[in-house]
Structure 1
Protein backbone atom coordinates (compact mmCIF):
# COMPACT_ATOMS: atom_id res chain seq x y z
CA UNK A 1 0.00 0.00 0.00
CA UNK A 2 1.30 3.47 -0.89
CA UNK A 3 1.96 5.54 2.25
CA UNK A 4 -0.23 8.35 0.92
CA UNK A 5 -3.19 5.97 0.70
CA UNK A 6 -2.64 4.47 4.11
CA UNK A 7 -5.24 5.64 6.64
CA UNK A 8 -4.62 6.28 10.33
CA UNK A 9 -6.39 3.69 12.48
CA UNK A 10 -5.43 4.88 15.97
CA UNK A 11 -3.41 7.89 17.05
CA UNK A 12 -1.99 9.02 20.37
CA UNK A 13 -0.30 12.34 19.51
CA UNK A 14 2.30 12.05 22.25
CA UNK A 15 3.10 8.40 21.61
CA UNK A 16 2.30 6.79 18.25
CA UNK A 17 0.38 6.82 14.99
CA UNK A 18 -0.90 3.41 13.89
CA UNK A 19 -2.08 2.89 10.32
CA UNK A 20 -4.63 0.43 8.97
CA UNK A 21 -1.89 -1.33 7.03
CA UNK A 22 -0.20 -2.21 10.33
CA UNK A 23 2.54 0.39 9.89
CA UNK A 24 3.44 2.37 13.00
CA UNK A 25 5.08 5.73 13.57
CA UNK A 26 6.53 6.05 17.06
CA UNK A 27 6.35 9.70 18.08
CA UNK A 28 8.28 11.62 20.75
CA UNK A 29 10.28 8.57 21.70
CA UNK A 30 12.21 8.86 24.96
CA UNK A 31 15.97 8.58 24.53
CA UNK A 32 17.71 5.27 25.13
CA UNK A 33 20.12 5.77 28.03
CA UNK A 34 23.41 3.90 28.23
CA UNK A 35 24.01 1.21 30.81
CA UNK A 36 26.58 1.87 33.51
CA UNK A 37 26.87 3.36 36.98
CA UNK A 38 23.92 5.46 38.15
CA UNK A 39 25.48 8.02 40.48
CA UNK A 40 22.19 8.86 42.20
CA UNK A 41 21.45 5.31 43.36
CA UNK A 42 24.81 3.53 43.18
CA UNK A 43 23.23 0.90 40.91
CA UNK A 44 25.34 -0.45 38.05
CA UNK A 45 23.72 -1.79 34.88
CA UNK A 46 24.87 -3.72 31.84
CA UNK A 47 23.27 -5.03 28.63
CA UNK A 48 23.38 -8.69 27.60
CA UNK A 49 22.26 -10.01 24.20
CA UNK A 50 20.49 -13.35 24.61
CA UNK A 51 19.62 -14.06 20.97
CA UNK A 52 21.53 -12.27 18.19
CA UNK A 53 19.06 -13.53 15.57
CA UNK A 54 15.95 -12.01 17.14
CA UNK A 55 17.71 -9.19 18.98
CA UNK A 56 16.38 -10.29 22.36
CA UNK A 57 18.39 -8.64 25.12
CA UNK A 58 18.16 -7.76 28.78
CA UNK A 59 19.53 -4.97 30.94
CA UNK A 60 20.77 -6.12 34.35
CA UNK A 61 20.79 -3.81 37.39
CA UNK A 62 23.05 -4.59 40.34
CA UNK A 63 22.68 -2.50 43.52
CA UNK A 64 25.77 -1.36 45.36
CA UNK A 65 27.06 -4.25 47.46
CA UNK A 66 26.81 -3.27 51.13
CA UNK A 67 28.56 -4.47 54.24
CA UNK A 68 27.59 -8.08 53.46
CA UNK A 69 29.06 -8.65 49.97
CA UNK A 70 28.38 -12.38 50.21
CA UNK A 71 24.66 -11.86 50.84
CA UNK A 72 22.62 -12.98 47.84
CA UNK A 73 19.97 -10.65 46.41
CA UNK A 74 16.48 -11.58 45.22
CA UNK A 75 16.24 -11.59 41.42
CA UNK A 76 13.42 -9.57 39.84
CA UNK A 77 12.60 -10.02 36.14
CA UNK A 78 10.93 -6.83 34.89
CA UNK A 79 8.77 -6.43 31.75
CA UNK A 80 8.24 -2.88 30.51
CA UNK A 81 4.92 -1.51 29.31
CA UNK A 82 3.98 0.39 26.17
CA UNK A 83 1.08 -1.54 24.65
CA UNK A 84 3.49 -4.18 23.27
CA UNK A 85 4.45 -1.51 20.70
CA UNK A 86 6.51 1.14 22.49
CA UNK A 87 9.47 1.60 24.82
CA UNK A 88 12.43 -0.63 25.66
CA UNK A 89 14.43 -1.75 28.66
CA UNK A 90 16.96 1.00 27.99
CA UNK A 91 14.53 3.86 27.39
CA UNK A 92 14.71 6.79 29.78
CA UNK A 93 11.17 5.94 30.95
CA UNK A 94 12.22 2.60 32.39
CA UNK A 95 15.94 3.05 33.07
CA UNK A 96 15.11 5.91 35.44
CA UNK A 97 12.44 3.79 37.16
CA UNK A 98 14.38 0.53 37.53
CA UNK A 99 17.54 2.10 38.99
CA UNK A 100 15.72 3.41 42.10
CA UNK A 101 13.67 0.20 42.29
CA UNK A 102 16.78 -1.97 42.39
CA UNK A 103 18.36 0.27 45.03
CA UNK A 104 15.29 0.60 47.27
CA UNK A 105 14.31 -3.08 47.16
CA UNK A 106 17.84 -4.47 47.19
CA UNK A 107 17.16 -6.68 44.19
CA UNK A 108 19.11 -7.69 41.12
CA UNK A 109 16.83 -6.68 38.24
CA UNK A 110 16.72 -8.33 34.81
CA UNK A 111 14.80 -5.88 32.59
CA UNK A 112 13.66 -7.54 29.37
CA UNK A 113 13.94 -5.86 25.96
CA UNK A 114 11.46 -7.94 23.94
CA UNK A 115 10.48 -7.54 20.30
CA UNK A 116 7.73 -5.01 19.61
CA UNK A 117 4.50 -5.25 17.64
CA UNK A 118 3.23 -4.60 15.01
CA UNK A 119 6.52 -5.44 13.25
CA UNK A 120 6.74 -8.53 15.47
CA UNK A 121 3.16 -9.46 16.43
CA UNK A 122 2.37 -11.41 19.55
CA UNK A 123 3.31 -13.98 20.67
CA UNK A 124 6.82 -12.62 19.93
CA UNK A 125 6.91 -10.53 23.14
CA UNK A 126 5.63 -13.46 25.20
CA UNK A 127 8.15 -15.87 23.69
CA UNK A 128 11.02 -13.41 24.23
CA UNK A 129 9.92 -12.80 27.81
CA UNK A 130 9.72 -16.53 28.53
CA UNK A 131 13.20 -17.08 27.10
CA UNK A 132 14.56 -14.21 29.21
CA UNK A 133 12.87 -15.54 32.36
CA UNK A 134 14.36 -19.00 31.84
CA UNK A 135 17.78 -17.45 31.19
CA UNK A 136 17.58 -15.39 34.39
CA UNK A 137 16.52 -18.41 36.45
CA UNK A 138 19.43 -20.44 35.06
CA UNK A 139 21.94 -18.00 36.64
CA UNK A 140 24.26 -18.37 33.64
CA UNK A 141 25.23 -14.71 33.88
CA UNK A 142 28.14 -13.97 36.22
CA UNK A 143 26.28 -11.19 38.06
CA UNK A 144 23.32 -13.47 38.79
CA UNK A 145 25.57 -16.40 39.70
CA UNK A 146 27.65 -14.32 42.11
CA UNK A 147 25.07 -11.96 43.57
CA UNK A 148 21.60 -13.33 42.80
CA UNK A 149 19.42 -15.75 44.73
CA UNK A 150 17.28 -17.40 42.04
CA UNK A 151 15.44 -19.28 44.79
CA UNK A 152 13.90 -15.87 45.50
CA UNK A 153 12.64 -15.04 42.01
CA UNK A 154 10.14 -12.22 41.41
CA UNK A 155 8.33 -10.95 38.32
CA UNK A 156 7.10 -7.38 37.81
CA UNK A 157 5.71 -5.33 34.97
CA UNK A 158 3.54 -2.32 34.23
CA UNK A 159 0.57 -2.15 31.84
CA UNK A 160 1.39 -4.51 28.93
CA UNK A 161 4.34 -5.67 31.04
CA UNK A 162 1.92 -6.78 33.75
CA UNK A 163 -0.06 -8.59 31.06
CA UNK A 164 3.18 -10.40 30.23
CA UNK A 165 3.62 -11.27 33.92
CA UNK A 166 0.25 -13.06 33.86
CA UNK A 167 1.30 -15.05 30.79
CA UNK A 168 4.64 -15.94 32.41
CA UNK A 169 2.90 -17.21 35.56
CA UNK A 170 0.72 -19.56 33.54
CA UNK A 171 3.72 -20.82 31.56
CA UNK A 172 5.78 -21.31 34.70
CA UNK A 173 3.14 -23.56 36.24
CA UNK A 174 2.52 -25.62 33.13
CA UNK A 175 5.96 -26.01 31.58
CA UNK A 176 8.14 -27.11 34.45
CA UNK A 177 9.23 -23.51 34.69
CA UNK A 178 11.15 -21.79 37.46
CA UNK A 179 9.72 -21.41 40.94
CA UNK A 180 8.50 -17.83 41.39
CA UNK A 181 8.08 -16.35 44.86
CA UNK A 182 6.14 -13.23 43.94
CA UNK A 183 4.55 -11.28 41.10
CA UNK A 184 3.92 -7.53 40.99
CA UNK A 185 1.22 -6.30 38.59
CA UNK A 186 1.53 -2.53 38.13
CA UNK A 187 -1.62 -1.18 36.43
CA UNK A 188 -2.17 -4.34 34.36
CA UNK A 189 -3.54 -4.07 30.82
CA UNK A 190 -6.48 -6.41 30.34
CA UNK A 191 -9.66 -6.07 28.30
CA UNK A 192 -12.74 -7.81 26.99
CA UNK A 193 -15.55 -7.46 24.46
CA UNK A 194 -18.23 -6.86 27.11
CA UNK A 195 -17.96 -3.89 29.45
CA UNK A 196 -17.69 -4.72 33.14
CA UNK A 197 -18.94 -2.55 35.99
CA UNK A 198 -17.03 0.70 36.19
CA UNK A 199 -15.15 0.17 32.93
CA UNK A 200 -14.67 3.12 30.60
CA UNK A 201 -16.08 2.68 27.08
CA UNK A 202 -13.19 4.72 25.72
CA UNK A 203 -10.55 2.59 27.46
CA UNK A 204 -12.26 -0.62 26.31
CA UNK A 205 -12.36 0.63 22.71
CA UNK A 206 -8.70 1.63 22.76
CA UNK A 207 -7.71 -1.75 24.17
CA UNK A 208 -9.70 -3.59 21.51
CA UNK A 209 -8.29 -1.41 18.74
CA UNK A 210 -4.67 -1.83 19.79
CA UNK A 211 -5.01 -5.56 20.42
CA UNK A 212 -5.98 -6.12 16.77
CA UNK A 213 -2.56 -4.82 15.68
CA UNK A 214 -0.55 -6.29 18.55
CA UNK A 215 -2.02 -9.77 18.11
CA UNK A 216 -3.80 -10.03 14.72
CA UNK A 217 -4.16 -13.82 15.01
CA UNK A 218 -5.85 -13.66 18.42
CA UNK A 219 -8.61 -16.23 18.83
CA UNK A 220 -11.72 -14.40 19.96
CA UNK A 221 -10.23 -10.96 19.41
CA UNK A 222 -10.00 -9.01 22.66
CA UNK A 223 -11.49 -12.00 24.49
CA UNK A 224 -8.34 -13.97 23.74
CA UNK A 225 -7.33 -15.32 27.19
CA UNK A 226 -4.03 -13.48 27.01
CA UNK A 227 -5.89 -10.15 26.97
CA UNK A 228 -8.95 -11.29 28.91
CA UNK A 229 -7.88 -13.76 31.63
CA UNK A 230 -11.50 -13.82 32.85
CA UNK A 231 -13.00 -14.87 29.49
CA UNK A 232 -14.90 -18.17 29.28
CA UNK A 233 -12.41 -20.94 28.54
CA UNK A 234 -9.40 -18.98 29.81
CA UNK A 235 -6.85 -20.98 31.82
CA UNK A 236 -7.83 -21.34 35.45
CA UNK A 237 -6.34 -18.72 37.75
CA UNK A 238 -5.54 -21.45 40.26
CA UNK A 239 -2.69 -22.40 37.90
CA UNK A 240 -0.82 -19.13 38.48
CA UNK A 241 2.77 -20.13 39.12
CA UNK A 242 3.78 -17.99 42.09
CA UNK A 243 3.32 -17.97 45.85
CA UNK A 244 2.40 -14.30 46.31
CA UNK A 245 0.96 -11.50 44.18
CA UNK A 246 0.55 -7.73 44.45
CA UNK A 247 -1.91 -6.01 42.10
CA UNK A 248 -1.71 -2.21 41.87
CA UNK A 249 -3.95 0.38 40.20
CA UNK A 250 -4.75 4.08 40.13
CA UNK A 251 -8.44 4.76 40.67
CA UNK A 252 -8.55 7.34 37.87
CA UNK A 253 -7.06 4.87 35.38
CA UNK A 254 -9.30 3.75 32.51
CA UNK A 255 -7.99 0.23 33.15
CA UNK A 256 -8.83 0.34 36.87
CA UNK A 257 -12.00 -1.78 36.64
CA UNK A 258 -10.20 -4.59 34.78
CA UNK A 259 -7.32 -4.57 37.25
CA UNK A 260 -9.70 -4.71 40.20
CA UNK A 261 -11.74 -7.51 38.59
CA UNK A 262 -8.53 -9.49 38.02
CA UNK A 263 -7.50 -9.07 41.66
CA UNK A 264 -10.92 -10.13 42.91
CA UNK A 265 -10.99 -13.15 40.60
CA UNK A 266 -7.55 -14.29 41.79
CA UNK A 267 -8.61 -13.80 45.42
CA UNK A 268 -11.79 -15.83 44.85
CA UNK A 269 -10.08 -18.61 42.92
CA UNK A 270 -8.66 -21.88 44.21
CA UNK A 271 -5.13 -20.53 43.76
CA UNK A 272 -3.31 -21.31 47.03
CA UNK A 273 -1.20 -18.16 47.13
CA UNK A 274 -1.69 -14.78 48.81
CA UNK A 275 -2.83 -11.78 46.75
CA UNK A 276 -2.74 -8.15 47.91
CA UNK A 277 -4.18 -4.94 46.45
CA UNK A 278 -2.68 -1.43 46.38
CA UNK A 279 -4.70 1.52 45.13
CA UNK A 280 -3.37 5.01 44.38
CA UNK A 281 -6.07 7.61 44.97
CA UNK A 282 -6.65 10.15 42.21
CA UNK A 283 -3.96 8.74 39.91
CA UNK A 284 -4.09 7.74 36.26
CA UNK A 285 -2.41 4.98 34.28
CA UNK A 286 1.27 4.37 35.21
CA UNK A 287 1.46 7.81 36.86
CA UNK A 288 4.57 6.70 38.76
CA UNK A 289 6.69 6.77 35.59
CA UNK A 290 6.30 10.48 34.72
CA UNK A 291 5.83 11.56 38.37
CA UNK A 292 8.26 9.45 40.42
CA UNK A 293 8.68 12.13 43.10
CA UNK A 294 4.97 12.58 43.89
CA UNK A 295 3.72 11.24 47.23
CA UNK A 296 1.57 8.49 45.69
CA UNK A 297 4.52 7.26 43.61
CA UNK A 298 6.68 7.11 46.74
CA UNK A 299 3.96 5.18 48.57
CA UNK A 300 3.69 2.75 45.67
CA UNK A 301 7.45 2.21 45.64
CA UNK A 302 7.38 1.61 49.38
CA UNK A 303 4.61 -0.95 48.92
CA UNK A 304 6.54 -2.78 46.20
CA UNK A 305 9.69 -2.81 48.35
CA UNK A 306 7.72 -4.15 51.33
CA UNK A 307 6.13 -6.85 49.19
CA UNK A 308 9.51 -8.08 47.99
CA UNK A 309 10.73 -8.08 51.59
CA UNK A 310 7.81 -10.31 52.51
CA UNK A 311 5.48 -7.79 54.17
Structure 2
Protein backbone atom coordinates (compact mmCIF):
# COMPACT_ATOMS: atom_id res chain seq x y z
CA UNK A 1 0.00 0.00 0.00
CA UNK A 2 1.47 3.37 -0.94
CA UNK A 3 1.45 6.30 1.48
CA UNK A 4 -1.38 8.09 -0.39
CA UNK A 5 -3.74 5.15 -0.04
CA UNK A 6 -2.86 4.75 3.61
CA UNK A 7 -3.71 8.37 4.54
CA UNK A 8 -6.94 8.06 2.56
CA UNK A 9 -8.11 5.14 4.67
CA UNK A 10 -6.42 5.89 8.02
CA UNK A 11 -8.73 7.55 10.52
CA UNK A 12 -7.38 10.47 12.55
CA UNK A 13 -10.60 11.12 14.54
CA UNK A 14 -13.60 8.85 14.94
CA UNK A 15 -16.68 10.31 16.59
CA UNK A 16 -19.43 7.67 16.23
CA UNK A 17 -22.19 8.01 15.13
CA UNK A 18 -21.37 11.52 13.86
CA UNK A 19 -18.28 11.60 11.67
CA UNK A 20 -14.83 10.31 10.74
CA UNK A 21 -11.86 12.50 9.89
CA UNK A 22 -9.13 10.82 7.85
CA UNK A 23 -5.41 11.57 8.07
CA UNK A 24 -5.46 13.21 4.65
CA UNK A 25 -8.04 15.70 5.96
CA UNK A 26 -11.08 14.12 4.29
CA UNK A 27 -14.22 14.40 6.42
CA UNK A 28 -16.98 11.82 6.27
CA UNK A 29 -20.27 12.69 7.95
CA UNK A 30 -22.07 9.54 9.06
CA UNK A 31 -25.55 11.04 9.61
CA UNK A 32 -27.73 14.07 8.99
CA UNK A 33 -27.04 14.47 5.26
CA UNK A 34 -30.45 13.45 3.82
CA UNK A 35 -32.26 16.34 2.13
CA UNK A 36 -35.91 16.90 1.22
CA UNK A 37 -37.13 19.74 -1.02
CA UNK A 38 -39.31 22.61 0.21
CA UNK A 39 -42.91 22.97 -0.95
CA UNK A 40 -46.48 22.60 0.25
CA UNK A 41 -46.84 19.86 2.87
CA UNK A 42 -50.27 18.26 2.32
CA UNK A 43 -50.55 16.92 5.88
CA UNK A 44 -50.01 20.21 7.71
CA UNK A 45 -50.91 22.65 4.90
CA UNK A 46 -47.63 24.50 5.53
CA UNK A 47 -45.66 25.92 2.62
CA UNK A 48 -41.86 26.22 2.69
CA UNK A 49 -39.15 27.75 0.52
CA UNK A 50 -35.37 28.11 0.73
CA UNK A 51 -33.65 31.49 0.94
CA UNK A 52 -30.02 32.63 0.90
CA UNK A 53 -29.00 34.90 3.78
CA UNK A 54 -25.29 35.40 3.13
CA UNK A 55 -23.93 34.15 -0.20
CA UNK A 56 -20.26 34.55 0.76
CA UNK A 57 -20.61 32.51 3.96
CA UNK A 58 -23.12 29.98 2.71
CA UNK A 59 -25.69 30.91 5.36
CA UNK A 60 -29.26 30.12 4.31
CA UNK A 61 -32.63 29.18 5.76
CA UNK A 62 -35.84 27.34 5.04
CA UNK A 63 -38.90 29.55 5.56
CA UNK A 64 -42.32 28.17 6.54
CA UNK A 65 -45.78 29.71 6.52
CA UNK A 66 -49.16 28.14 7.42
CA UNK A 67 -51.56 28.16 4.47
CA UNK A 68 -54.68 27.30 6.50
CA UNK A 69 -55.87 30.90 6.35
CA UNK A 70 -53.93 32.52 3.54
CA UNK A 71 -53.27 35.33 3.41
CA UNK A 72 -53.25 35.44 7.24
CA UNK A 73 -55.92 37.69 8.76
CA UNK A 74 -53.38 38.99 11.31
CA UNK A 75 -49.62 39.20 11.68
CA UNK A 76 -48.01 35.93 12.78
CA UNK A 77 -45.35 35.37 15.46
CA UNK A 78 -41.92 34.40 14.10
CA UNK A 79 -40.05 31.29 15.23
CA UNK A 80 -36.33 31.21 14.39
CA UNK A 81 -35.10 27.62 14.79
CA UNK A 82 -31.58 26.17 15.04
CA UNK A 83 -30.98 22.48 14.39
CA UNK A 84 -28.81 20.21 16.53
CA UNK A 85 -26.04 17.79 15.61
CA UNK A 86 -23.11 18.69 17.91
CA UNK A 87 -22.28 21.68 15.64
CA UNK A 88 -21.09 19.02 13.14
CA UNK A 89 -24.02 17.33 11.37
CA UNK A 90 -27.60 18.07 10.37
CA UNK A 91 -29.30 20.74 8.27
CA UNK A 92 -32.73 22.40 8.20
CA UNK A 93 -33.30 20.50 4.94
CA UNK A 94 -33.16 17.00 6.48
CA UNK A 95 -36.46 15.11 6.68
CA UNK A 96 -36.69 15.12 10.49
CA UNK A 97 -36.16 18.90 10.85
CA UNK A 98 -38.39 19.66 7.87
CA UNK A 99 -41.20 17.59 9.41
CA UNK A 100 -40.66 19.14 12.85
CA UNK A 101 -40.95 22.67 11.46
CA UNK A 102 -44.02 21.80 9.38
CA UNK A 103 -45.70 20.52 12.55
CA UNK A 104 -44.69 23.38 14.85
CA UNK A 105 -45.59 26.05 12.28
CA UNK A 106 -48.98 24.44 11.65
CA UNK A 107 -49.92 23.93 15.31
CA UNK A 108 -48.50 27.21 16.67
CA UNK A 109 -49.63 29.29 13.65
CA UNK A 110 -46.27 31.03 13.21
CA UNK A 111 -43.82 31.86 10.45
CA UNK A 112 -40.83 29.54 10.76
CA UNK A 113 -37.22 30.38 9.86
CA UNK A 114 -35.02 27.28 10.10
CA UNK A 115 -31.38 28.38 9.89
CA UNK A 116 -28.52 26.67 8.04
CA UNK A 117 -25.26 27.70 9.71
CA UNK A 118 -21.75 26.53 8.85
CA UNK A 119 -20.57 23.48 10.75
CA UNK A 120 -17.42 22.19 12.44
CA UNK A 121 -14.78 20.95 11.94
CA UNK A 122 -14.34 22.84 8.63
CA UNK A 123 -15.87 25.92 10.29
CA UNK A 124 -15.07 25.67 14.01
CA UNK A 125 -17.28 27.08 16.75
CA UNK A 126 -18.10 29.95 17.24
CA UNK A 127 -18.66 30.34 13.47
CA UNK A 128 -22.07 28.62 13.90
CA UNK A 129 -23.01 31.25 16.48
CA UNK A 130 -21.86 34.16 14.28
CA UNK A 131 -23.77 32.76 11.29
CA UNK A 132 -26.87 32.39 13.45
CA UNK A 133 -26.54 35.98 14.66
CA UNK A 134 -26.33 37.06 11.00
CA UNK A 135 -29.51 35.10 10.33
CA UNK A 136 -31.35 36.76 13.22
CA UNK A 137 -30.21 40.19 11.99
CA UNK A 138 -31.47 39.20 8.53
CA UNK A 139 -34.88 38.43 10.04
CA UNK A 140 -34.81 41.84 11.77
CA UNK A 141 -33.99 43.52 8.45
CA UNK A 142 -37.66 42.94 7.50
CA UNK A 143 -38.94 45.23 10.28
CA UNK A 144 -40.79 48.04 8.52
CA UNK A 145 -41.61 45.80 5.56
CA UNK A 146 -38.51 46.59 3.53
CA UNK A 147 -36.74 43.22 3.57
CA UNK A 148 -36.22 40.81 0.69
CA UNK A 149 -38.80 38.21 1.82
CA UNK A 150 -42.48 38.91 1.29
CA UNK A 151 -43.64 36.44 3.97
CA UNK A 152 -41.72 38.29 6.67
CA UNK A 153 -42.46 41.77 5.29
CA UNK A 154 -46.21 41.22 5.05
CA UNK A 155 -47.06 38.69 7.73
CA UNK A 156 -44.30 38.70 10.37
CA UNK A 157 -45.05 40.08 13.86
CA UNK A 158 -41.70 41.39 15.10
CA UNK A 159 -43.19 42.09 18.53
CA UNK A 160 -43.50 38.31 19.00
CA UNK A 161 -40.26 36.59 18.02
CA UNK A 162 -39.15 33.26 19.47
CA UNK A 163 -35.80 31.51 19.13
CA UNK A 164 -35.54 27.78 19.70
CA UNK A 165 -33.33 24.80 18.99
CA UNK A 166 -32.34 21.35 20.11
CA UNK A 167 -28.97 20.20 21.46
CA UNK A 168 -26.27 22.34 19.78
CA UNK A 169 -29.09 24.45 18.31
CA UNK A 170 -30.40 25.10 21.83
CA UNK A 171 -26.92 26.28 22.80
CA UNK A 172 -27.07 28.73 19.87
CA UNK A 173 -30.60 29.87 20.83
CA UNK A 174 -29.45 30.72 24.37
CA UNK A 175 -26.40 32.56 23.01
CA UNK A 176 -28.64 34.64 20.70
CA UNK A 177 -31.04 35.49 23.52
CA UNK A 178 -28.11 36.93 25.47
CA UNK A 179 -26.66 38.70 22.43
CA UNK A 180 -29.98 40.42 21.68
CA UNK A 181 -29.91 41.63 25.30
CA UNK A 182 -26.39 43.00 24.85
CA UNK A 183 -26.57 44.49 21.34
CA UNK A 184 -30.32 45.02 20.76
CA UNK A 185 -32.16 44.62 17.47
CA UNK A 186 -34.42 47.72 17.46
CA UNK A 187 -38.00 46.83 16.56
CA UNK A 188 -37.57 43.13 17.34
CA UNK A 189 -39.05 41.90 20.61
CA UNK A 190 -37.78 38.52 21.74
CA UNK A 191 -40.78 36.98 23.46
CA UNK A 192 -39.32 33.61 24.45
CA UNK A 193 -36.49 31.10 24.11
CA UNK A 194 -37.16 27.34 23.93
CA UNK A 195 -34.23 24.99 24.57
CA UNK A 196 -34.71 21.29 23.81
CA UNK A 197 -32.07 19.03 25.42
CA UNK A 198 -29.56 21.91 25.41
CA UNK A 199 -25.89 21.17 24.79
CA UNK A 200 -24.27 22.89 27.78
CA UNK A 201 -21.26 21.55 29.63
CA UNK A 202 -18.70 22.36 32.31
CA UNK A 203 -15.53 21.19 34.02
CA UNK A 204 -17.23 20.34 37.34
CA UNK A 205 -19.42 17.24 36.79
CA UNK A 206 -23.06 17.45 37.83
CA UNK A 207 -24.85 14.49 39.45
CA UNK A 208 -25.76 12.35 36.43
CA UNK A 209 -22.41 13.11 34.75
CA UNK A 210 -20.36 11.91 37.73
CA UNK A 211 -21.88 8.43 37.29
CA UNK A 212 -21.01 8.22 33.57
CA UNK A 213 -17.28 8.84 33.28
CA UNK A 214 -16.86 7.45 29.76
CA UNK A 215 -19.68 9.57 28.35
CA UNK A 216 -18.46 12.76 30.04
CA UNK A 217 -14.92 12.25 28.69
CA UNK A 218 -16.39 12.02 25.17
CA UNK A 219 -18.31 15.29 25.61
CA UNK A 220 -15.16 17.11 26.77
CA UNK A 221 -13.32 15.77 23.69
CA UNK A 222 -16.19 16.60 21.35
CA UNK A 223 -16.28 20.20 22.57
CA UNK A 224 -12.53 20.64 22.03
CA UNK A 225 -12.87 19.07 18.58
CA UNK A 226 -15.60 21.50 17.48
CA UNK A 227 -13.96 24.54 19.09
CA UNK A 228 -10.15 24.11 18.95
CA UNK A 229 -9.53 27.66 20.25
CA UNK A 230 -11.59 27.06 23.40
CA UNK A 231 -10.26 27.54 26.91
CA UNK A 232 -12.00 24.24 27.77
CA UNK A 233 -15.37 23.10 29.11
CA UNK A 234 -15.80 26.27 31.18
CA UNK A 235 -15.77 28.43 28.05
CA UNK A 236 -18.85 30.73 28.41
CA UNK A 237 -20.17 29.48 25.04
CA UNK A 238 -20.61 25.95 26.42
CA UNK A 239 -20.96 26.75 30.14
CA UNK A 240 -23.61 29.41 30.84
CA UNK A 241 -22.51 29.45 34.48
CA UNK A 242 -19.29 31.14 33.30
CA UNK A 243 -21.08 33.75 31.19
CA UNK A 244 -21.19 37.08 33.07
CA UNK A 245 -23.93 38.25 30.67
CA UNK A 246 -26.43 35.43 31.30
CA UNK A 247 -28.72 37.79 33.23
CA UNK A 248 -29.01 40.00 30.12
CA UNK A 249 -31.09 37.34 28.32
CA UNK A 250 -33.50 39.47 26.28
CA UNK A 251 -36.75 37.53 26.68
CA UNK A 252 -39.26 37.24 29.52
CA UNK A 253 -39.90 33.50 29.22
CA UNK A 254 -37.70 30.43 28.81
CA UNK A 255 -38.73 26.80 28.31
CA UNK A 256 -36.11 24.10 28.89
CA UNK A 257 -36.94 20.52 27.85
CA UNK A 258 -34.82 17.67 29.23
CA UNK A 259 -34.92 13.87 28.91
CA UNK A 260 -34.50 11.52 31.89
CA UNK A 261 -31.79 9.31 30.37
CA UNK A 262 -29.85 12.12 28.67
CA UNK A 263 -26.30 12.71 29.90
CA UNK A 264 -26.96 16.44 29.40
CA UNK A 265 -30.14 16.40 31.52
CA UNK A 266 -28.68 18.03 34.64
CA UNK A 267 -27.27 20.87 32.54
CA UNK A 268 -30.84 21.83 31.59
CA UNK A 269 -31.96 21.88 35.23
CA UNK A 270 -28.78 23.76 36.18
CA UNK A 271 -29.53 26.41 33.51
CA UNK A 272 -32.80 27.16 35.32
CA UNK A 273 -30.92 27.61 38.63
CA UNK A 274 -28.34 29.86 36.97
CA UNK A 275 -31.04 32.07 35.44
CA UNK A 276 -32.90 32.34 38.75
CA UNK A 277 -29.69 33.30 40.58
CA UNK A 278 -28.81 35.93 37.95
CA UNK A 279 -30.48 39.33 37.66
CA UNK A 280 -32.67 38.08 34.80
CA UNK A 281 -36.26 39.05 35.69
CA UNK A 282 -38.12 36.44 33.61
CA UNK A 283 -39.82 33.08 34.17
CA UNK A 284 -38.12 29.76 33.34
CA UNK A 285 -39.80 26.34 33.26
CA UNK A 286 -38.19 22.92 32.88
CA UNK A 287 -40.13 19.95 31.49
CA UNK A 288 -38.59 16.48 31.86
CA UNK A 289 -39.60 13.54 29.65
CA UNK A 290 -39.37 10.18 31.46
CA UNK A 291 -37.63 7.10 29.98
CA UNK A 292 -36.18 8.98 27.00
CA UNK A 293 -32.68 9.92 25.83
CA UNK A 294 -31.09 12.85 24.01
CA UNK A 295 -33.21 14.22 21.10
CA UNK A 296 -35.37 11.07 21.10
CA UNK A 297 -38.11 13.02 19.29
CA UNK A 298 -35.90 13.33 16.21
CA UNK A 299 -35.42 9.59 15.75
CA UNK A 300 -38.99 8.67 16.75
CA UNK A 301 -41.20 11.71 16.03
CA UNK A 302 -44.46 9.74 16.13
CA UNK A 303 -44.08 8.27 19.63
CA UNK A 304 -46.37 9.60 22.37
CA UNK A 305 -43.54 11.35 24.22
CA UNK A 306 -42.44 13.13 21.03
CA UNK A 307 -46.01 14.34 20.40
CA UNK A 308 -46.21 15.57 24.00
CA UNK A 309 -42.89 17.42 23.61
CA UNK A 310 -44.12 19.05 20.39
CA UNK A 311 -47.29 20.20 22.18
CA UNK A 312 -45.23 21.67 25.05
CA UNK A 313 -43.22 23.76 22.57
CA UNK A 314 -46.40 24.83 20.75
CA UNK A 315 -48.20 25.85 23.95
CA UNK A 316 -45.11 27.79 25.06
CA UNK A 317 -45.26 29.79 21.80
CA UNK A 318 -49.03 30.28 21.95
- TM-score class, shorter: over 0.9
Q: How does 1:100-115 map to 2 (within 5 A)?
A: 100-115=103-118
**Within the alignment, does 1:306 sit opposite 2:306 as a pair?**
no
Q: State the match for 2:287 in structure 1.
A: 278
Q: State the match for 1:288 in structure 2.
A: 297
Q: State the match for 1:229 in structure 2.
A: 240
Closer, same or farther in 2 for the Cα pair 1:184/1:4, shift >3 Å?
same
Shift of 1:262: 1.1
Shift of 1:15: 3.0
Q: State the match for 1:205 in structure 2.
A: 217
Q: State the match for 1:189 in structure 2.
A: 199
Shift of 1:8: 3.6
Q: State the match for 2:154 in structure 1.
A: 146
Q: Distance in 1 between matches of 2:25 and 2:125?
A: 13
Closer, same or farther in 2 for the Cα pair 1:21/1:173, shift >3 Å?
farther
Corresponding residue SS for 1:242:
coil
* Cα distance per residue 1:180-228 (max 9 Å; x no partner): 100000000011122122223233222211111211111x212110011
Closer, same or farther in 2 for the Cα pair 1:180/1:22, shift >3 Å?
farther
Shift of 1:3: 7.1
Shift of 1:81: 0.3
Shift of 1:22: 6.6
Give the count of matched residue pairs. 305
Q: State the match for 1:167 in structure 2.
A: 175
TM (normalized to structure 2)?
0.90
Closer, same or farther in 2 for the Cα pair 1:299/1:170, shift >3 Å?
same
Q: How does 1:113-128 map to 2 (within 5 A)?
A: 113-128=116-131
Closer, same or farther in 2 for the Cα pair 1:68/1:50, shift >3 Å?
closer
**Within the alignment, does 1:42 sit opposite 2:45 as a pair?**
yes
- Asked if the contact 2:11–2:20 (Cα under 8 Å) also holds between the matched residues in 1, the reply is no
- Asked if the contact 2:259–2:265 (Cα under 8 Å) also holds between the matched residues in 1, the reply is yes
Q: Distance in 1 between matches of 2:20 and 2:131?
A: 25
Shift of 1:267: 2.5
Q: State the match for 1:214 in structure 2.
A: 226
Q: State the match for 1:11 in structure 2.
A: 15
